[in-house]
Amino acid sequence: MTIRIDYSNMLAITDAEEGGGDDETGGIPERDWTAAAARFEQVFAEVERLYDAGMLGFLDLPDDNDLLLQTKDFAYEAGGVFDDVVILGIGGSALGPIALRTALRPSGWNALDDAAREGKPRLHVLDNVDPETIAALLGRLVLARTLFVVTSKSGGTAETMAQFLVVYERLEREGLDAAHQMVFVTDPERGALRTLSRKLGIEALDIPANVGGRFSIFTPVGLLPAALMGIDVDDLLDGAADMARRCESDVLRENPAGVFAMLQWIADTRFGRHIHVLMPYADALRDFASWYVQLWAESLGKIALDGTHVGPTPLAALGATDQHSQVQLFMEGPADKTVTFLAVTARSTDVTIPTAFPDVAELSYLGGHTLGELIDIEQQATAGALAKRGRPNMTIHLDTVDAWHVGGLVMLLELATIYAGELYGVNPLDQPGVELGKNFAYALLGRADAGDALREWDSLPKPDPRRSV
């Protein structure tokens, strides 16, 4: 089992290689890539220092048996008790579980009957506070057969706590005990959820203090929903541990996460490739691209120490679907993108395309191939076409989509994000840019400790009716 990155199309092709002169077209020149090895040694050493200082807790999660035992014990006790699990959370609390459900449960999981799900619960994720969505879901659930997983490390996330209050009131109205219908996933010591856990007798599972939300998929944030649905969480962690071991080298070309981070950083900062597309060629990985978008955007979009605004813009796409929408832009639009494909070597299911209508040229060539073969060829053709046009791209190859490979892919991109943070000169673990908006929201909602934010809000220019149409 392995995960492999083919980055041939990220490097420049010289005219000499194609029988011409020495001019380079598209991609990163070989001399720049060779020179990057020494820079990566420095980056690796700094990341090791951060780890030794206890700041990179996500790297320890694959070996955290206590946290795994928490998760598995709760999932075992809850087995067969609930028909539905609802996650109340937003951002990393929601995107990771969604990605795991889509990747590692059969297609259309929530629409399958109990037998097809082997008695495992449906998983719903309320990742917003749109009242129509929340009211509709609560209206069709049998609350007595529903477990609500309230996920907030701080216990103060406005959206999640509002969802909690709505659900708690519904449970009380139905005469149900929240201690049976809820579980919290939160900081081990601090925050409102930890306080409420003690007050209400609701069990609480831990998010380690040194693990941030978007790096929390290997905590109960991701593992608990996965275990409840019957996903092999041991395999998930084994895949992550294997990738972490592969990334223990400070030799750039031997370190998959280093390769990904360095190529993207060089492409962005030196060659204007400011948009980084992740394009899986498997429906099972479509929500994984959304998880990556948050990881890359919230970690790297920062103000560097010298005051410059840095950070690439991640973009999710899906092959072959977006060949018929976004690829036109990738191919002939501004030369400001890299594309990373996720390709799957073997699928659990394939479908043969029937041979019919041999007299119709547009159909006859398809017969005898399989749909898996078609989507693989589409990916290869798109990668080749982009390279031909000087549009850099790389392909991450997975042998198959299973828990081991998904765990490895998560770890690869999480660690790449830390390397990239060091390259950009920013802290990839914080998110100061979202705090002002949060504080304004607290002020407008009347939170008691938001007086300074309210005064700042009141000082802002007011809407001008002359500038509204």
Q: Enumerate the active-site residues.
A: 298, 324, 438
Handedness of CA 315, 321, 326, 331 (dihedral sign): positive
**Helix (H), strand (E) at residue 338:** strand 337-344
Q: How far apart are the C-alpha atoms of 441 and 347, rounded to whole Å?
A: 46
Q: What are the strands, taking DSSP E only, across 28-121?
A: 84-88
The answer to whether 26 touches 387, Cβ cutoff 8 Å, is yes
DSSP helix/strand/coil, 422: helix
Q: How far apart are CA 420 and CA 262, in angstroms?
A: 7
Residues present in the chain in total: 469
- DSSP H or E segment with residue 13: strand 13-14
Radius of gyration of the chain (CA): 24
What residue type is 433 in one-letter code? Answer: G
Q: How many CB atoms lie within 10 A of CB 148?
A: 28
The secondary structure of the chain in percent helix, strand, coil, rounded to multiples of 5, reads: 55, 15, 35
Q: How far apart are CA 321 and CA 327, in angstroms?
A: 10
Q: In the numeric block, which tokens belong to residue 4?
A: 């492999």
Residue 62, C-beta contacts closer than 8 angstroms, at least 6 positions apart: 218, 237, 238, 240, 241, 244, 407, 411
Q: Map residue 200 onto helix, strand or coil.
A: helix
* CA-based nearest residue to 379, from 410, 344, 349, 337: 344
Count Cβ neighbours within 10 Å for each residue of 28-62 and write b for 16 or more, e otherwise: beeebbeebeeebeebbeebeebeeeeebbbbbbb
| CA neighbours closer than 13 Å in the CB half-sphere of residue 239 | 24
What 3-state class would DSSP assign to 93? Answer: helix
CA 16 to chain centre: 40
